[in-house]
Structure formats: C-alpha cells, structure tokens
Structure 1
Amino acid sequence: MPERLSPVSYELSLSDHAEATWQVTRVSITEALNEPYRAVIDARTEAEHFDTDTLLGCDAALTLARGQGQGQGRAVCGLVSRIDFLGVGDPHLMLRFHVVPAAAVLRRSVNSRIWQQIETIEIIEQVLGAGLGDYGRELDRQGIARGHTLRDYCVQYRESDFDFVSRLLEEEGISYEFIHEAKTKLERLTLRDANGQYAELESDHGGAELPIITSNPGEADVESIQEFEWSTELGSTSVLRRDFDWQTPRHLLSAHSEGTDDRGRDRRVFAHGTRRFIKDELEERAKDQRLAAALGARVARGRSNVTAMRPGLRFRVMGHYRLDLEQEYLVTHVRHSGAEVNVSTAGTAGEAYMNEFECVPFDAPIRPAAKTPKPREYGPQTAIVTGPESEDIHTDELGRIHVQFYWQEHPSYAANASCWVRCSQSWAGMGWGAQFIPRIGMEVVVEFLEGNPDRPLVTGCVYNTEHTPPFALPDHKTQSGWRSESSPGGGGSNELRFEDAAGDEEIYLHGEKDWTIEIENDRRETIGHDESFSIGHDQTGQIGNNQTLTVACNQVETIGLSRTDAIGASALETVGVAKSVIVGTVLDERIGTNRSTAIGEDHTVSVGGDATETVAGDKSVASNKLTVESADAMSVTSAKTYSLEVTDRLTIKGDEKVIVEAAEEMVFKCGDASITLKKDGKIQIKGKDVLVKGSGNVVIKGQEVAEN
C-alpha cells in the first residue's frame, strides 16, 4: 500500500537571538511574479525575557518540509519588517512576524535624482545594487538581453527606489522572481526576460507534472492539484504607440502591434507621450504591451498542496478532463496557508497546508504588465541655469540649456546637471521668431510635458535676491522693458525701456555699441514736436535716389571746419527773399563747364583786397550802363588785340594827363581821314581837307618843309 503523504512541518530561524527556539503555529504567505512577497508567521517561544523589538530588520528563514524522504521542501527567506506582540501564554511568548524580501524595504527609500546617457539595466543595477547590498543581498541579472536601451535622461522623482526600479523593469519588458537559498537563508532577486530562463517546479516526487486529485488528496502519496479552473476574458488585442520627436517634428514616431480576438475583433490601446530614449523602440514596446495584455486575458486558477509552488516556476497539469488544459503553465501568484496545531497535551501534532495559485499558459512570451504608475509633476517649479565657469551663456544650436533642480541631492551646478532642456519662446518659426536664452545663474521656471519628469521644458524666468529687476522697484514701478548684459564679463548693456508715468511717458533705447537699422522698403517717422541728435564722431549717409527736405521756418547749419558738396549733375537753389554767404577767409569755386548767374535787379561785389579774374576763353559783359571806377590806378592788359567799341560816343578823359602809346604804330581814323604814328617818328595825316587852326600861333618846324 502506498505511503501516505507526510504532513508539512515549519521551522523558523532568525539571525538574531539564536538561543531562542520558535514553534510556528500559523503561516500565511502571499507571492506573485514581479511583486515582493509577504510571509505572516505566528510563532511562540519559551524565551520570554528579551526585547522583541531588537528582532526588527533581522534575517528570517521559514522552511516548509514534508516528512523525511518526501520532497525537497522549500524555504522562504527575507527580513523581519514588522512584529506584532500577540501576548504571553504560560510559558510562551507569542509573536507575529511579517517577513518580506529586502527589495520590499526599498519602498521606504524615496528619492529624486537624475540619470543621463546610461543603459536602463545599469540604472537598475545601481539602485538595487546599493539598496540590496545594505542588507547583504544581491541582484542576479545574468543572461539578460533586454534593458540595454540607452536613455538620454531618466528621472526618479519623489519615487521609492522599489517603485522606480519596478517601473523601469516593466518598461523594458523584464520580469523578476525571488530565489530562496535554504543554505544561505537569503533570497536573491533574479531578472528574467525570456521564457527559457524559468525553472521547472520540483514536487515531492521530483517532477514538474502535477496530477489533479480532487477526492481525499491528503490520502494520496504525492502532492497534487485539487482544483484547476480556466478563465478567459475579453482584453486588449492591439497596441498603437505614438510619440513626438522634436528632432523630426514633421515625422511622428508610431508603432502598431496588431491583433484580433477569435472573432476578428480589435480592441486597441492607444498609448502616447511616454518616450525618452536615444533609439526609437516604439515597435518593440508596443509588442510587449500587447503581449502583457494578452497574458492577463488567459488565466488558470487552482488549489493545491504542492509546497514547492512558487511564482516563476513552470509545471504541467496531468489528469484534467479537458485535454486542452493539459499543458505547461507558469506560476504567477500563490497564497500559502498552513498551521501546526497541538491536539493533545502529549504533543501529538496534526497538519494543515494548502495554497491557491494563478498561472498562465507557457506558450506565449512572458511580459510584465505596466502597473507601476509613473510619477507626475503638473505644477511648475524653478531651477538654476548651469554651464561652464568660463561662460556666461551656455546653449546649443537649438537654444537649449542645462539646469540644476533644487531637489537634486548633490548639486554640482555643472554643465551637465540636467539634460539639454528646451526653452519656450513667444515665437518659434523656421529661422524666425523670438530668441532670449536664459543665462548661467538665472532662476528659470520649469514645467513638464504631460507632467512627465523626464520631459522638462523651461517656460520663463523669475527674479530673486541675487538676480534683481533691471529697474529699481518699487520706485520705478511705472517702467517696463528689457535690459540685457554684455557677454562675456558684463559691464555693459542694451536697453529698451517704457516709462508710463502720466505726464512723463517715454520710450528709451540704449545700445552699448552699434545700432544697425535695415528696412527693405519705406520708412516713415513722425515727431510731434522737437527732435535733437548728437553724433560723437562721423556721420555718413547714402541716398540711392532723391532727397526732399522741407523746413517750414528757419534752418541753421553750423560746420566747425570744412564742408564739401559733390553734385553729380545739376544743383538748383531757390531763395525766396535774401541769401547771405559769409566766408571767414577763402572762397574757392570751381565749375567744370559753364556758369550762368541771373540777377533780377542790382548786383554788388565788394572785395576788401585784390580781385583777380581769369577767363580761359572769351568774356562778354553786357550792361545798360557800365561804370568802371578805380580809387588808384587801373590797368587793362591784352596779350593780342584789345577792342573798345561804342555805338554812340567814346570819351577818354584825364584830369591831368592822357597818354596813348603803341610800340609799332598807332592809327587814329575817322571815315576817310586818318593820322598814323610810327615808331620811327613818322606821322602821316590823310584827309580830303586838312585844316590847321589855332587861336594863337601855328608853328611848323622841320629839317625840310615841302609845300605842294
């Protein structure tokens, strides 16, 4: 006759107070794939006189085993996270221990920190490596192919270390289970990303095939399944993931993992706005999400007395009346219940153990469901702009900046304190728009796209006691505007200021160096009253066509030194009344061809010293009456011919003497009469009649006097 299945015995060992012996009376263990387990253990001891609080945080190991030679049994290891004092019953101290894995204690560690340019698996190892190491545990990531996606920016924000790691694992499609080492009495968190990494369950008879025994399972000689129910439900069948990449704004990132149910119907999940990776892996993530949803839509639930039943183990059902259910499954959830009860004062022991479990078919890839919520930060916060010490402004080709958040535990204020953060501008076009780059040291307002801490956006700047407003307040509260600062080094500024004080309204513009205005077409400027300008050095202007200037009243122009006017063609100057030109020393006028002066009435020229006029060609003077008067001498010189002609009468008069002299010959002529004087002294008088008449004597003298 087969040997009856031995009862389960329980043994509890604690790393502290090893002298105490514990008798387990009741056990409740809840386990799940991708979740920390919790074992609630009621135990009693005769060692009454010690501080039970000192057991908090110590290592604990609970061993479940059947009789000798029947199976391997199993251990549940962890930390004592809570102790309930149940009282003292002579002669026993009764306590309730809550045992969890060391990873679960990381829920008590909440952090806000940033990772940049790092693989996801490295982030996980850094967080878990440090957290588990404090408790003597370690992470097992051997054989993991996933998680090597490079994240340019990853934020843990007001999030426990455990939740942060869980979320990353879910995003990467990596599951985890806990392996309990009976020898070391420690648990090991082990990562899984492929079905082949899950081990087979070893039952009491050493195999992974579990029979279904519904009638008197306690009388059987092997561990078995007593109930096995199959459940399916309508779930999501496809996933569409979409995201926006600012580096390719006209091309939306999109991936569709398609599928339908047996009736050809599609229940699609549209997920968007979650990306923060260097590489576009939306397709793989959409597929993972669809597989996880499909996995949860086909679940088997059962009850058994298999003590080795644990999440992350696979087994095969045998003896089910539905042959299609006789397949391989992966355990996902288990709830163990057990007790050791004294039934007599002699100490004879009875036993009760059972578990309820959930499992999924092992014929589909195992992917974790995305159940850990991502922290959201919907309100604005401020940060300090960072950059190299040698710079005032640190930005890239798109105007992005680095910032230091106040919640970063170890602020470095270095150039890489954060990722490159885009800055909101009032306008942003294709090579046009507004451009104000926050500078190093400024306090900026940061918000997060869809509340995602991984996607910061600078939306403004604020003043503080170090960076104060440009116009002193409250004294100048009516002033608005902009004042920049010269960079690098400061010391100068450009400024545009509006003064709105009633009666003193003003627009003020200051340029630290140059001011360049370029207008493609017309410029119109209207000034209601006066305009004044001062130029410290030169002024140069160029007009491509005409210039018209109308001055309603007077115009005064003062030139300290010289003035040069160059006119390419004609110049016309019209003076309505009078014009005066006063030259302190020399006036030099040069005309390339002709000059014409028209004077309506009188023309007076007054020369204080000498006057010289040189005409290269002919000169004509026409006048109604011409008077030439000289206070001293007057000289007229001609290189060749000098002609003096009048239409009426010519009078030459000298108050004292008139001298007319010619070097060769002089001729006085009137009609047919003439007098010729030659240089040899000969005088010839010609005429029809010659009359010599004198009121006194007439004397004729000569060497010879001839008469005809």
Structure 2
Amino acid sequence: RKSASSLGSNGFNEVRIEDATGEEEVFTHAQKDEDLLTENDKDQEVKGYEDLLVKKDRKRTVEGNQTLKVIKDDAGVVEGNQTLLVRKNRDTSVEGSHDESVEGNQAMTVGRTLTAVVSQGAMENVALAKATTIGGGYSVNVGLAYNEATGGAKAMEVGAAHTEVVAGSRQEMVSKDKQVKVGGDWKTEVKKGISLTVARDLTEQVTQKSSTDVKEATAWLAKQFEVTADQLSVSVNGNVALRVEKSGNIKIFAKTFTLDGADIKFKGAKVKLEAPGASSSAQVQALRAAAVEGSPFVERCPGK
C-alpha cells in the first residue's frame, strides 16, 4: 500500500508485502518520521544478517538493566571522540589476553586507592623520560633478586633520613672516581675485619683532633716512614717516654735507659752529661770524654 504524504508532493508513505516464493518481503517506508510504541514486551529475532544505518545522531535510553551477549567477535570503530560515564561501580573481566594501544597521550586519575595484582611477570618500557611523584610514603618489596641498570647519570635526593638494611653481602663497584660528602658526623662500625687496598697514594686530612685506639698489636710497614708535627710525644702505659718539640729539643723520659750497639757516637758543639748524686760515675765520665773528642764510645753490655 502506498499513499502520497500530501497533495502535489512527491513524498509518500508505503507498506508493502511480497509473498512470492523466494522473494518474501515486508517493506515499510516513512516519508519523514516514524514512531513505534509498544506498551509491554517486545521480542525481535533476526535469523540472518542485520544492518542498521543512522545518518544523524542516535540515542538509546534503558531505564532498567541491559545485557549484551556476543557469541563470536565484537568490533567497534569510533571515528571521533568517545565518552563513557559510569556513576557507580564498574567491573571488567577478560578470561584471555588483553591488549590496549594508545597512539597519543593517556591520562588516568584515581580518586582513592589503585591496586594492581600480577600473578606472573610484569614489564614496563618507557622510550624517553619518566617522572614519578608521590606525596606520601613509598615502599618496594622484592622477594628475590632486584636489578637496576642506568645507562647514563643517576641522582638520588633524600630530604630527611636515609636508611639501608642489607641482610646478606653488599658489593659496590665504581669504574672511575667516587666522592662522598657528609655535612655532619660520619660513623662506621665493622664487627669483624676490614681490609683497604690502595694502588697509589693515600691522603688523610683532619682539621682538628684525630685519635686511633687499637686494643691489641699494630704494625706499620713502609720503605720510608715520616712524621711531621709541631710536637711529637710517645707515651707508654700512660707515661711520656719521648717528646720532640718544634724548637728542636728532644727529651727522653725513662726510669732505666740503655743504649745497646756495636758503635755508639755522641757529637755536638756542647755535650753535657749529668747524673744524680755528688759525683759522676765512670760511665758518665767516659761518655763525656768521648763526646768532647768526637770518638765512638763502645762498652760491652752485661750478658753480651
């Protein structure tokens, strides 16, 4: 059935039914608008293909629930922008793999907590720079090995305290120079041995006092040993045994003083040997004479 929409118009409304075998068809044509109202349920079944073309805008409102089930593949192409608003919760479940590609920028804003659980491996590849800003605490927990590689320079800045705890061994290898600056105190505690190997020179500069406390024996081995100081003192058991002053004076403090050598020689513009008591001993007199003459003084020590 075909009817003209208005007198003198080329438009028309049409409803056509074709019953020829193999060409069955129900055709509906609306010259302008079409309104369809179903007061109750509606069932629609298409046993073949369905093609829908909307040349302008399309709007769909579902006041209840909506279920979409696709037995095979589902492909959607949006030539312009797409906006999705979920006012409550949203759950997405993928039983297989999930691939997502963004050719431009991507921004994600989470108002509260973000949790990501990966049962196996995870990899992130950033071709250029990456910046991470955390307003509160930051924690990384690695159950096994942790490897970090930086191809260029690396800088770490900590505004407050920095604590590092290593339960096992720790090794640091620096191919070139290394510099450490400490603005306050520096304390190192080693409960076992420590070994320091320097291939070239070693220089230590202390602007104030320096103290070394060794509970047991200590040894210095060198081809040449030099001590430079305004005053040098050697103490044994809390008592000063030797003092060398900046003026050139050298004092030896001893309860018993023994010189043992094959050839002992005293030489000076003025040599003064004094012994406590009224008179000098024979040894003192001999030392005095040897010093004045500049000749060596040799005496066999007892038991030699």
TM-score by length of 1: 0.29
Measure the CA separation in 2 of the matches of 1:480 and 1:681: 112
Instruction: Pick closer, same or farther for the CA change 1:480–1:408 going to 2, 3 Å.
Output: closer
TM-superposed CA distance for 1:507, in Å, is 2.9
Match of 1:629 in 2: 197
Q: Indicate whether 1:583 and 2:150 are aligned.
A: yes
The change in CA–CA distance for 1:673 and 1:528 in structure 2 (over 3 A counts) is same
Q: CA deviation at 1:697?
A: 3.2
User: Aligned in 2, Cα 1:478/1:617: closer, same or farther, shift over 3 Å?
Assistant: farther
| Inter-partner Cα distance in structure 2 for 1:687 and 1:652 | 24
1:707 equivalent in structure 2: 273
Corresponding residue for 2:141? 574
CA gap 1:672/1:598 in 2 versus in 1, 3 angstroms: same
The 3-state SS of whatever aligns with 1:506 is coil
Alignment of 1:148-297 (within 5 A): none
**1:264-305 CA distances to partner (integer Å, 9 max, x unpaired)?**
xxxxxxxxxxxxxxxxxxxxxxxxxxxxxxxxxxxxxxxxxx
Distance in 2 between the 1:577 and 1:646 partners?
A: 40
Q: Secondary structure at the match of 1:673?
A: strand
Rounded Cα–Cα distance in structure 1 between residues aligned with 2:128 and 2:243? 61
Query: Match for 1:625: what amino acid?
Result: G
Aligned-pair identity in percent equals: 16
Counterparts of residues 516-665 of structure 1 (less than 5 Å): 516-623=83-190, 624-654=192-222, 656-662=223-229, 664-665=230-231
Instruction: Give the match for residue 506 of structure 1.
Output: 73
Shift of 1:479: 7.6
Rounded to whole Å, the distance in 2 between the matches of 1:523 and 1:647 is: 70
**What's the counterpart of residue 458 of structure 1?**
35
Q: Deviation at 1:609?
A: 0.6
| CA drift at 1:638 | 3.2
Instruction: Quickly say closer, same or farther: Cα 1:509–1:691, change in 2 above 3 A.
Output: farther
**Alpha-carbon separation, structure 1, partners of 2:203 and 2:74:** 69
Summarize the Cα distance change of 1:551–1:700 in structure 2 as closer, same or farther, 3 Å threshold.
farther
Q: Is the 8 A contact 1:675 1:686 kept in 2?
A: yes
> Higher relative contact order by CA 8 Å / sep ≥ 6: 1 or 2?
1
Q: 1:511 to 1:603 in 2, by over 3 A?
A: same
**Residues 611 and 446 of structure 1, relative CA distance in 2, 3 Å threshold:** same
- Distance change (3 Å), C-alpha of 1:648 and 1:409: farther
Contact 1:446 1:459 in 2 (8 A): no
2: distance between equivalents of 1:636 and 1:645? 17
Name the SS for the 1:508 alignment partner: coil
User: For 1:665 and 1:483, how far apart are their aligned partners in 2?
Assistant: 102
What is the letter of the counterpart of residue 568 of structure 1?
A: G
Superposed CA deviations along residues 424-451 of structure 1, whole A, max 9, x for unmatched, are xxxxxxxxxxxxxxxxxxx97479xxxx
CA distance in 1, matches of 2:82, 2:256: 94
* Structure 1 residue 602, shift from structure 2 partner: 0.7
Distance 2:98 2:177 in 1: 45
Partner of 2:145: helix, strand, or coil? coil
Q: 1:409 to 1:516 in 2, by over 3 A?
A: same
Shift of 1:588: 0.7
Task: Report if aligned partners of 2:231, 2:244 keep a CA contact under 8 Å in 1.
Answer: yes
**SS where residue 35 of structure 2 aligns?**
strand
Structure 1 residues 609 and 513: CA distance shift in structure 2, 3 A: farther
Give the partner amino acid of 1:538. Answer: N
- In 2, Cα distance between the equivalents of 1:646 and 1:657? 23
How far off is 1:606 after superposition? Answer: 0.3
Deviation (angstroms), 1:610: 0.5
Give secondary structure in 1 for the equivalent of 2:96. coil
Cα deviation per residue 1:489-529 (whole Å; 9 max; x = unaligned)? xxxxxxxxx995x6xx2333433344444444443322212
- In 2: Cα distance, 1:411 partner to 1:692 partner: 142
Higher strand share: 1
Change in CA separation of 1:408 and 1:540 when aligned onto 2, cut-off 3 Å:
same
1:619, 1:705 → 2: CA distance? Answer: 50
- Select 2:6's aligned residue among 408, 416, 430: 408
CA, structure 1 residues 673+605, in 2 after alignment: closer, same or farther (shift >3 Å)?
same
| 3-state SS in 2 of match to 1:458 | coil
**Do the aligned residues in 2 keep the contact of 1:499 with 1:507 (CA within 8 Å)?**
no
SS of residue matched to 2:75: strand
Is the CA contact (8 Å cut-off) linking 1:446 and 1:458 kept in structure 2?
no
Q: Give the helix-richer structure, 1 or 2.
A: 1
Unpaired segments ≥5 residues, structure 1 = 1-378, 382-404, 414-442, 448-455, 461-476, 487-497
- Asked if the contact 1:666/1:678 (under 8 Å) is kept, the reply is yes
Deviation string 1:509-565 (CA, Å, 9 cap, x unpaired) is: 433344444444443322212222223233333333333322222222222222222
| C-alpha RMSD over aligned residues | 3.7
What is the correspondence of 1:307-326 to structure 2 with a 5 Å cutoff?
A: none
Deviation at 1:598, TM superposition (A): 0.9
Whether the 8 Å CA contact 2:233–2:240 is kept in 1: the answer is no
**Cα offset for 1:411?**
4.7
Aligned length: 236
Aligned counterparts of 1:676 and 1:588: Cα–Cα separation in 2: 50
Gaps of 5+ in 2: 12-27, 38-47, 58-67, 275-304
1:391-444 Cα distance to aligned partner (Å, 9 max, x none): xxxxxxxxxxxxxx963345599xxxxxxxxxxxxxxxxxxxxxxxxxxxxx97
Deviation at 1:628, TM superposition (A): 1.9
| TM-score normalised by L of structure 2 | 0.62
Q: Report the Cα offset of residue 480 of structure 1.
A: 7.2
Rg bigger for which structure? 1
2:234 and 2:241 in contact (8 A); partners too: yes
Q: Please list the CA deviations of residues 452-496 of structure 1 after superposition, one character each: whole Å capped at 9, or x if unmatched.
A: xxxx75349xxxxxxxxxxxxxxxx7687888779xxxxxxxxxx
Q: 1:690 to 1:548 in 2, by over 3 A?
A: farther
Q: Per the alignment, in what secondary structure is the counterpart of residue 74 of structure 2?
A: strand
Question: What is the CA–CA distance in structure 2 between the aligned matches of 1:629 and 1:545, rounded to whole Å?
Answer: 53
Letter of the 2:108 counterpart: G
Alpha-carbon displacement from aligned partner over 1:367-391 (angstroms, at most 9, x marks no partner): xxxxxxxxxxxx9x8xxxxxxxxxx
CA–CA distance in structure 2, aligned partners of residues 666 and 482 of structure 1: 103
Shift of 1:608: 0.8
